[in-house]
């Protein structure tokens, strides 16, 4: 089953007390809905939507970039970034488990005519300068032209340290490549690294940030970068069908998220540590935790059975067997976390 697949076995009808499948399940709260209802809107394809314009400018400013572009999804934001950096027959170097390589239906290749060259990750989730140098193609008509390094942070929950991220970007730049950062969970990374947004964003030319994961907005991502590239990205967004009209109702949710929901990410990370400690204490399998994610490989090999057993107790989990993924987010408070931990104890008799 896909990491992102829902429960297609009827459990959706049960009372869901704690949904650990992903931080994408977060729903807009009352204050965010109020901000959406009050949004001043216009036709964004004409550049007339004030809320969208404000969101793009605010996130660009926060990350120290010239311009921003609001898009319907992180997938489209990454695709538009790749298409704006690379031409037909050119190549992106990236991590093998990264979203752009594994979870975007190969859109960069299918729709962008761009080749993808995947590398294995370092233990901290980054790409080694040596591996990058070896992957850059020599100037030879047999090969695609290496054009872009695409990083991801956080990746698999891991906040890749700044020095390692910088070293990878330096290796790419020395070979004439540009650098994109898939920062779907950019603010989880910044929170865990304890750095300013500009410290991480400054390493890359373009950064894609999701508003619809831990930040709690219902829809949307923003791509930030240099003015001329964002102008090209705007054309690609239209080409891909991502030009939205009165999108200010969505941008208002994103602006609300940036203003109010970043600080809460630290609490998600703390709750992930609490869950990891409780699972470790059960002694039922291998546990890993990074930022807001916990990964669990049960010794009993009962990952497939665990899902419906927990679902019957109102706890939803994700991830393909043998390693399950539990994601903490703003809709899981301490009470919901306690319920989840009790359900795990129940199941394993702890």
Ligand X SMILES: *Cc1c(COP(=O)(O)O)cnc(C)c1O
Choose one: 10-18, 70-78, 246-254, 295-303; the region binding ligand X (CB under 6 A): 70-78
Q: What is the rounded CA–CA span in Å between residue 225 and residue 188?
A: 20
Q: Which is nearer to ligand X, 220 or 248 (CB)?
A: 220
26 binding ligand X? (CB under 6 A) = no
73 binding ligand X? (CB under 6 A) = yes
Contact 26, 216 (CB under 8 A): yes
126 binding ligand X? (CB under 6 A) = no
DSSP code per residue over 298-324: ETT--HHHHHHHHHTTTEE-B--TTSE
Choose one: 13-21, 43-51, 67-75, 261-269; the region binding ligand X (CB under 6 A): 67-75
Look up residue 122 and give its two tokens.
Answer: 């370092």
Q: Which is nearer to ligand X, 152 or 205 (CB)?
A: 152
Which of the 8 DSSP states describes residue 115? E
Among candidate residues 192, 202, 236, the one with its CA nearest the CA of residue 62: 202
Q: Which is nearer to ligand X, 221 or 261 (CB)?
A: 221
- State the binding string over 79-118 for ligand X (x if CB under 6 A, else -): --------------------x-------------------
Contact 68, 224 (CB under 8 A): yes
Q: Which is nearer to ligand X, 147 or 325 (CB)?
A: 325
- Beta-strand relationship, 206-210 and 18-19: unpaired
Q: Helix, strand or coil for residue 288?
A: strand
152 binding ligand X? (CB under 6 A) = yes
Look up residue 109 and give its two tokens.
Answer: 């290749």
CB of 284 to ligand X, least distance (A): 27
CB of 257 to ligand X, least distance (A): 14
Half-sphere exposure of 293 (CA within 13 A, CB side): 23
319 binding ligand X? (CB under 6 A) = no
Q: Pick out residues in 258-287 that bind ligand X (CB under 6 A).
A: none
Interhelix angle 334-348/265-282, rounded to 10 degrees, is 20
Choose one: 68-76, 132-140, 266-274, 309-317; the region binding ligand X (CB under 6 A): 68-76
| Cα torsion through 216, 123, 196, 215, rounded to 10 | 0
Which residue has its beta carbon closest to ligand X? 74
Q: Is the peptide bond before 127 cis (omega within 30 degrees of 0)?
A: no
Q: Which is nearer to ligand X, 74 or 285 (CB)?
A: 74
> Residue from 44, 51, 91, 182 that binds ligand X (CB under 6 A)?
182
> Residue from 18, 41, 56, 74 that binds ligand X (CB under 6 A)?
74
Measured in degrees and rounded to the nearest 5, phi and psi for residue 147 equal -125, -30
Q: Which is nearer to ligand X, 146 or 153 (CB)?
A: 153
153 binding ligand X? (CB under 6 A) = no
Number of residues near ligand X (by CB under 6 A): 11
Give 160: exposed, middle or buried? Use CB within 10 Å, 0-12, 13-18, 19+: buried
Q: What is the rounded CA–CA span in Å between residue 119 and residue 97?
A: 9
CB of 99 to ligand X, least distance (A): 3
75 binding ligand X? (CB under 6 A) = yes
Residues that bind ligand X in the complex, under the rule CB under 6 A: 73-75, 78, 99, 152, 182, 184, 210, 212, 221
């Amino acid at each position: 089953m896909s990491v992102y697949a829902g429960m297609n076995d009827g459990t959706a009808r049960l009372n869901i007390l704690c949904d650990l499948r992903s931080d994408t399940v977060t729903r807009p709260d009352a204050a965010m809905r109020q901000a959406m209802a009050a949004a001043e809107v216009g036709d964004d394809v004409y550049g007339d939507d004030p809320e969208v314009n404000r969101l793009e400018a605010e996130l660009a400013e926060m990350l120290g970039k010239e311009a921003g572009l609001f898009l319907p999804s992180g997938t489209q934001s990454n695709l538009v970034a790749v298409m704006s950096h690379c031409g037909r027959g050119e190549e992106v170097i990236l991590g093998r488990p990264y979203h752009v390589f594994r979870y975007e239906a190969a859109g960069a290749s299918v729709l962008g005519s761009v080749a993808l060259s995947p590398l294995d990750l370092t233990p901290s989730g980054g790409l080694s300068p040596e591996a990058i140098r070896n992957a850059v193609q020599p100037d030879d008509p047999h090969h695609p032209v290496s054009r872009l390094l695409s990083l991801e942070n956080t990746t698999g929950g891991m906040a890749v340290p700044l020095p390692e991220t910088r070293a990878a970007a330096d290796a790419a730049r020395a070979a004439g490549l540009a650098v994109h950062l898939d920062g779907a969970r950019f603010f989880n990374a910044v929170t865990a690294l304890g750095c300013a947004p500009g410290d991480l964003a400054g390493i890359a030319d373009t950064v894609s940030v999701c508003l619809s994961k831990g930040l709690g907005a219902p829809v949307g991502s923003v791509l930030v970068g240099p003015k001329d590239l964002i102008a090209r990205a705007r054309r690609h967004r239209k080409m891909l069908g991502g030009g939205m009209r009165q999108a200010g109702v969505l941008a208002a949710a994103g602006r609300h998220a940036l203003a109010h929901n970043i600080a809460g990410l630290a609490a998600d990370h703390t709750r992930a540590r609490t869950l990891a400690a409780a699972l470790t204490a059960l002694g039922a399998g291998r546990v890993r935790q990074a930022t807001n994610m916990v990964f669990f490989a049960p010794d009993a090999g009962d990952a497939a059975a665990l899902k419906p057993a927990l679902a019957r107790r109102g706890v939803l989990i994700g991830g393909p067997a043998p390693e399950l993924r539990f994601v903490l987010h703003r809709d899981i408070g301490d009470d919901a976390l306690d319920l989840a931990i009790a359900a795990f104890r129940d199941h394993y008799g702890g």
